[in-house]
Structure 1
Amino acid sequence: MTTPLPERAGRRCHNVLNSIAATLYFSPDLGRELAAVGIEDSDGAYFATRAAAMGAVGPGTVTATFYNFSHELVAKHVPAVWQAASPETVLAARERAIDATLRRLLGDEVVASKEMAEAAELGLRAAEACTRSARPLYAAHADLPVPDAPHLALYHAATLLREHRGDGHLAALLDAELDPVEALVSHTATGRGMTPKWSLGTRGWSRSDWEAAVLRLRERGLLDAEGELTGAGESFRKEIEARTDRLDRAPYEHLGAEGVERLTELAKKPLLTAFAAGAFPEGMIGKG
């Protein structure tokens, strides 16, 4: 008989794996590899790297699947990035960057360890239960081959699980009637999202866009006059995450409680090492 998953066990496992996947997007190795194939702008590199699995898609598809970026920012770089490098070229550069990033942050001994191989096996097993329907970013990555090297296989599994939950999260945001800027503002207000400075600096929205979203959320009773979540706002954000958990439960139920606990434990160690090695910018997360 399968042991039921503890509450939020899947979310905790996802949070660790998602952070491992995110190391790439702050890595100088990615910038170097993308510049070598003709994509030098950091925004263009991000859009190309994450969208390449879908093929040479247009700006509308990227805006739809990435959700919280302004369409104007996306259209500034897409489809121009595909004129510089094909999706296949970008995917090859991405894999080189992943390899370089993990080796630099973790060291060759960790990369080659039996724990890394075990984590990759567990992550891929969880991903067996992911579903493609209405999950475009996950489905595109699921069509990619699984790398042979365990550290690359773990990164691949982390990406599958990240995008599977992310696609489901967008459905939850739509159901909650949060537009892209409102989603950013309300998430920031929890203290667990990017700061307004980071959001405004990377997502393409203006200060007036942000302030208008704040006003709309106040009118819904979700933010107070200081921009903090009201009691209703806190419950509202918690329900969005709970709904996302429900939409994302299949891979973790498939892995089982012991497997989820073990995968979380195995992935947390290299993540902490990556944090200590400076994988993420300071001051990115919080309300400031």
Structure 2
Amino acid sequence: MTTLPPGAGRRCHAFLNPLHSAHYFAPETGKELSALGIEGWIPGYLAIRGAAMGRVNAGIVTAAFHNFKHEMVAEHIPAVWDAASPEQVLDARLRAVDAALRRLLGEEVLASAELAEAAELALRAAEGCARAVRPLYAAHADLPVPRAPHLALWHAATLLREHRGDGHMTVLAASGLDPVEALVSHTATGQGMAVKWLLVTRGWSEEELTAARHRLTERGLLDAQGVLTEAGTALRERLEEETDRLDAAPYEHLGAPGVARLTELAKRFTTSVVAAGGFPADLRGGTPPEGSGRG
């Protein structure tokens, strides 16, 4: 088994993840989904992220997504499948990703040898992923690999994101943090979503977020100002370290030289995506976040 430098897999993921997640905020996605009769960010997100699992119900989506309020999910799932089938949503998502990456990266980059190399490396890493107890990864792993290099890179980034994220959910389940506490403590690291975006995207109220802060304060994980204590910082780092352990296989499969090269290329492309306005400026404390990306 290949020995990687400490944190190499996490760092690689940190620069690959935005290549996947930029489409959630792209106007091209809203346009494609609107043409199917799916209007609004929340139902759109639930549809495009959940479609790989098929015509699932709200309980499945809540379980797989972990930190979304179930009542909000149930407002849109399974009703969204009455507007468009999962297959139609997946096709629309791929069209949106294609258009968004063309806009954010430009045709010259999309046609470059470097992007094709990154796609090959990322797909090779994804060969090391495992389906067991990873519902979102497993669902996406059953989808065909797009032929265009930029879409193949996006697909591989999606596989690696969901593989790490599913593992992170397992770690969170054993951590003693409930979904709201996980979100609040992640935001307190400076790398999670800003509170404004938690309210917009996850369905929890200000009162529920405040109550979670109080619980974390009582447990000594946050101070009175909502800042992570030494114990809170240590907990969050343990969560990421355990996630690293569960997510090591794809990066060990790729090997240290490949991981280093993929990180270099992904950083270059992600920097361009961010500079081109691929994400809201007030989305989070750090871009790109070096962690699980899922609370």
Into which bin does the TM-score normalised by the smaller protein fall? over 0.9
Verify the 8 A CA contact 2:2 2:252 in the aligned structure 1. no
Q: Which residue of 2 aligns with 1:161?
A: 160
Structure-1-length-normalised TM-score: 0.98
Separation of aligned partners in 1, 2:285 and 2:183? 12
Q: Which residue of 1 aligns with 2:175?
A: 176
- Residue 52 (structure 1) aligned with residue 57 (structure 2): no
Segments of 4+ moved more than 3 angstroms: none
Q: Which residue of 1 aligns with 2:63?
A: 64
Deviations 1:14-34 (A, max 9, x none): 011111101100100000000
Q: Which residue of 2 aligns with 1:257?
A: 256
Separation of aligned partners in 2, 1:190 and 1:272? 21
Separation of aligned partners in 1, 2:135 and 2:234? 29
Q: Output aligned runs, 1:67-86, within 5 Å.
A: 67-86=66-85
Q: Which residue of 2 aligns with 1:92?
A: 91
Q: Which residue of 1 aligns with 2:207?
A: 208
Separation of aligned partners in 2, 1:271 and 1:142? 23
Q: Which residue of 1 aligns with 2:289?
A: none
The residue type paired with residue 195 of structure 2 is P
The residue type paired with residue 235 of structure 2 is F
- Residue 116 (structure 1) aligned with residue 109 (structure 2): no
**Distance 1:142-1:3 versus aligned 2 partners, 3 A rule:** closer
The residue type paired with residue 286 of structure 1 is G
Q: CA deviation at 1:221?
A: 1.0
Q: CA deviation at 1:194?
A: 0.9
Separation of aligned partners in 1, 2:143 and 2:149? 16
- Residue 17 (structure 1) aligned with residue 16 (structure 2): yes
Q: Which residue of 1 aligns with 2:141?
A: 142
Q: CA deviation at 1:286?
A: 2.4
Structure number with the bigger relative contact order (C-alpha 8 A, sep ≥ 6) is 2
Count, aligned residues: 286
Alignment gaps of 5+ in structure 2: 287-295
Deviations 1:145-199 (A, max 9, x none): 0011100000000000000000000011011011110001100111111111111
Verify the 8 A CA contact 2:52 2:90 in the aligned structure 1. yes
Separation of aligned partners in 1, 2:59 and 2:52? 16
- Residue 132 (structure 1) aligned with residue 136 (structure 2): no
The residue type paired with residue 276 of structure 1 is A
The residue type paired with residue 231 of structure 2 is A
**Distance 1:3-1:54 versus aligned 2 partners, 3 A rule:** closer
| Range with bigger deviation, 53-62 or 264-273 | 264-273
Q: CA deviation at 1:7?
A: 0.6
The residue type paired with residue 149 of structure 1 is A
Q: Secondary structure at the match of 1:222?
A: coil
Separation of aligned partners in 1, 2:93 and 2:190? 31
Q: CA deviation at 1:70?
A: 0.3
Structure-2-length-normalised TM-score: 0.95
Q: CA deviation at 1:3?
A: 5.5
